[in-house]
Amino acid sequence: MGLEWEQVVIAADDPAGLGRWWCDALEWVVVDDSPPVFEIQPEPDRYPGILFLPVGEAKKSKNRLHIDLRPDDQAAEVERLIALGASRIDVGQGEVSWVVLADPEGNEFCVLQERQ
């Protein structure tokens, strides 16, 4: 029996809006835009993807699961993501090598340092 990771599901107030933001941030493609769902992947039929589903309430606390991104240039990517609408946040990380950001609905994610 095999097992494959297909997608991460993110509950969103505005699935299409947040999905489009992540699509732009990751430079992925939309593979399903049929409300109420919105799904993106690195390219069609390439997994894992991210599926955005509606939830009837705003985010209330720190994420229990988040996405880590590994850029070629951390500073440039942080600035690009902020220009797209991300914001810097403090979740108590202290002095670390990664940058913690939040997407437009407040979901935390990290931009790691470049690979050595």
86: domain CATH number is: 3.10.180.10
Q: Does 69 lie in the same domain as 50?
A: no
Q: What is the spatial distance between Cα 17 and Cα 23, in angstroms, rounded to a whole number?
A: 10
Domain range enclosing 103:
65-116
8 Å CB contact between 114 and 74: yes
Q: What is the dihedral of CA 29, 37, 45, 84, to 10 degrees?
A: 20
Domain count, the chain: 2
Q: Does 110 lie in the same domain as 73?
A: yes
Burial environment of residue 106 by CB neighbours within 10 A (0 to 12, 13 to 18, 19 or more): middle
Query: Which letter does DSSP use for residue 22 in this model?
Result: H
Extract the tokens encoding 13: 């107030």
pLDDT in tens, the chain (116 residues): 688 899 999 999 999 999 999 999 999 999 999 999 999 999 999 999 999 999 988 788 888 889 999 999 999 999 999 999 999 999 989 999 999 999 999 999 999 999 88
In single-letter form, the type of residue at position 49 comes to G
pTM for the complete prediction? 0.90
Give the start-end residues of each E strand in the chain. Answer: 7-12, 29-32, 38-41, 49-54, 67-69, 87-88, 99-102, 108-111
